[in-house]
Amino acid sequence: MSVRTIQNWVGNREHPPAKGAYMDDFGPATGEVIARIPKSDAEDVDAAVTAAQAAMAGSWSQSTPAERADLCEAIADAIESRLDELAELESLDCGKPITTARTVDIPRAVANFRFFAGAVRHDETGCHDMGRSRLNYTLRRPLGVVGLITPWNLPLYLLSWKVAPALACGNAVVAKPSEMTPLTADALGAIVRDIGAPDGVFNLVHGLGPEVGAPLTEHPEVAAISFTGGTATGARVAAAAAPRFKKLSLELGGKNPTIVFDDADLDLAVEGAVRAGFTNTGQVCLCGSRLFVQRGIYDAFVERFTVAVQQLPAGDPSQPQTRVGALISAAHRDKVEGYIALAREEGGTLVAGGGRTAVPAALAGGYYVEPTVVTGLSANARCATEEIFGPVVTVHVFDDEEEVLRLANGVRYGLSASVWTTNLARAHRVSAALDCGMVWVNTWLLRDLRVPFGGMKDSGVGREGGAHSLEFYTEQRNICVTW
Ligand code: NAD
């Protein structure tokens, strides 16, 4: 396979890194080098910020919401027309099952651009009549240059979740995708140029977090940082942004409970718990990696859940039937395997998986771990409280609502939860008492792009989605007029 070298995107042009340094991008399915990417630094960030500032100083600042909505629609159309190609790139770069990339990741990137096009077309701001010839009205103004930092697990999905509202609101973007999944971000750079977007509204700098993400976060001309990634990195980003008074959105890690009550529809709950545990090979911040099952159905549920997990088609991400693909890197596989070893030490029983997925010889260098289910661990065990971010679910028994709420809320994270019950009152009661940003009842990861998305505690600060994104990517200005 030929190894492509990609460049940064600055002012709609491919832009080699100033120091001429490059690094390897590995394909998780095989462990082979699939591309070379710029190993950029502060100088490249500076060039991108300068291009973005030039865009803000030019005609972009005069663009209307309708024009920006048209631009987002054009990007959506272009992504949609290249859906298969982008899905293959995403699967290759990420090790994710091709069917996930085709049916989830790339369609969602299209939806993000369409959604925020609609959002700014239909946006309304307030007007308050004080009476006696006094009126207050509110304008939204773009922030200027915004920095967008994204992780590797849902590359174009999450990048577009930030780029779309940022552009729709009239900002200029400097994006820093994960160094492990640069390929669809590069394709987005080409799409933005090809549809004729104004120079400098979208810029992209590849490289390592400390060498690109940190200077972007610290840059005095960057007005806001939207960051999605791990909690430890989020703390660094917050520390750098705070003294510079930047607007900051942090979407961080999770250790989300799936709670199944005795009265749940068992078929639905088993299917839902499998999906929550193993979608994208367990590498979604929202994955339900802690499964709490009420005592009356515990044995029956675990038996059915275990069989369903063992039957998940795992292995080659390029095969359409594959549901569990490769992990992102050798280091991440080692981390996940370290947690599986720890689960044994902590007294857990592996009732499914635990080893490496059997794959054809051509994939022997890839990073595969079997879908794994652990029972018998204390809910306070490290494996049950720390984010593993892989295909590992720990299962715990509980007796009543009070106990499960204490266990579910007893971690430092607070991103999401799913609750499975046919008791309506219980569904509302438990949902309201869970310490997290999002609760799904009798479903998981059913998304409506209008609702607030985000977490509490160590899972983040702020909300994205719908009006919350418009709020984040604009500064509101109140004007009080008398006559
Ligand atoms: P990560 O924190 O290692 O990296 C995220 C991004 O930050 C990358 O682009 C990285 O290069 C950059 N970065 C690293 N150091 C930096 C620094 N000092 N300054 C600025 N940027 C820096 O996370 P990851 O391993 O890529 O992603 C997995 C994590 O992301 C998991 O914890 C997962 O839960 C979380 N995540 C959260 C959400 C959410 O919406 N809450 C969504 C997806 C993933």
Work out the average pLDDT over 426-442: 98
Per-residue model confidence as pLDDT tens digits over 417-430: 999 999 999 999 99
Please indicate, yes or no, whether residues 59 and 129 belong to a single structural domain of this protein: yes
- 229 C-alpha to center of ligand 1: Å? 2
Per-residue model confidence as pLDDT tens digits over 367-404: 999 999 999 999 999 999 999 999 999 999 999 999 99
Please indicate, yes or no, whether residues 113 and 199 belong to a single structural domain of this protein: yes
Work out the average pLDDT over 127-153: 98
Alpha-carbon span 359 to 340, nearest angstrom? 20
Q: Side chain identity at 314, as an amino acid letter?
A: A
282 lines ligand 1 (CB under 6 A): no
Is position 452 within any domain?
no
Is position 215 within any domain?
yes
237 lines ligand 1 (CB under 6 A): yes
Please indicate, yes or no, whether residues 296 and 153 belong to a single structural domain of this protein: no
Is position 453 within any domain?
no
Please indicate, yes or no, whether residues 141 and 17 belong to a single structural domain of this protein: yes
Domain containing 318 equals 257-447
Per-residue model confidence as pLDDT tens digits over 60-111: 999 999 999 999 999 999 999 999 999 999 999 999 999 999 999 999 999 9
Work out the average pLDDT over 31-58: 98
- pTM of the complete model: 0.98
Sign of CA dihedral 428, 272, 252, 72: negative
Is position 454 within any domain?
no
Shortest CA distance to 170 belongs to which of 255, 55, 274, 332? 55
Please indicate, yes or no, whether residues 73 and 196 belong to a single structural domain of this protein: yes
Is position 402 within any domain?
yes
Please indicate, yes or no, whether residues 265 and 245 belong to a single structural domain of this protein: no
Q: Side chain identity at 186, as an amino acid letter?
A: D
Tell me the CATH number at 375. 3.40.309.10
Task: Please give the number of the atom of ligand 1 that sits closest to the Cα of 236.
Answer: 18
How high is the pLDDT of residue 1? 64
**Percent of the chain scored above 90 by pLDDT?**
100
Please indicate, yes or no, whether residues 232 and 344 belong to a single structural domain of this protein: no
Please indicate, yes or no, whether residues 315 and 193 belong to a single structural domain of this protein: no
Per-residue model confidence as pLDDT tens digits over 201-246: 999 999 999 999 999 999 999 999 999 999 999 999 999 999 999 9
Work out the average pLDDT over 144-172: 98
Work out the average pLDDT over 25-37: 98
Over 90: is that where the pLDDT of 2 sits?
Answer: no
Tell me the CATH number at 167. 3.40.605.10
Alpha-carbon span 394 to 375, nearest angstrom? 6
Task: Please give the number of the atom of ligand 1 that sits closest to the Cα of 207.
Answer: 11
Is position 306 within any domain?
yes
Is position 314 within any domain?
yes
Task: Please give the number of the atom of ligand 1 that sits closest to the Cα of 254.
Answer: 34
Please indicate, yes or no, whether residues 324 and 230 belong to a single structural domain of this protein: no
Distances (CA, A) of 335 to 228, 340, 363: 20, 9, 20
Sign of CA dihedral 402, 406, 407, 409: positive
Please indicate, yes or no, whether residues 309 and 403 belong to a single structural domain of this protein: yes
What are the structure tokens assigned to 134, written together? 């006094």
- 151 C-alpha to center of ligand 1: Å? 4
Strand 13-15 vs strand 8-10: parallel, antiparallel, or unpaired? antiparallel
Work out the average pLDDT over 437-457: 98
Is position 127 within any domain?
yes
Choice from 94, 233, 457 to test ligand 1 binding pocket (greatest atom count within 8 A of CB) = 233
191 lines ligand 1 (CB under 6 A): no
Task: Please give the number of the atom of ligand 1 that sits closest to the Cα of 455.
Answer: 41
Choice from 45, 96, 149, 463 to test ligand 1 binding pocket (greatest atom count within 8 A of CB) = 149
Please indicate, yes or no, whether residues 465 and 420 belong to a single structural domain of this protein: no
Our answer to whether residue 285 is catalytic in this structure is: yes
Task: Judge contact between 350 and 372, C-beta under 8 A.
Answer: yes
Alpha-carbon span 54 to 148, nearest angstrom? 18
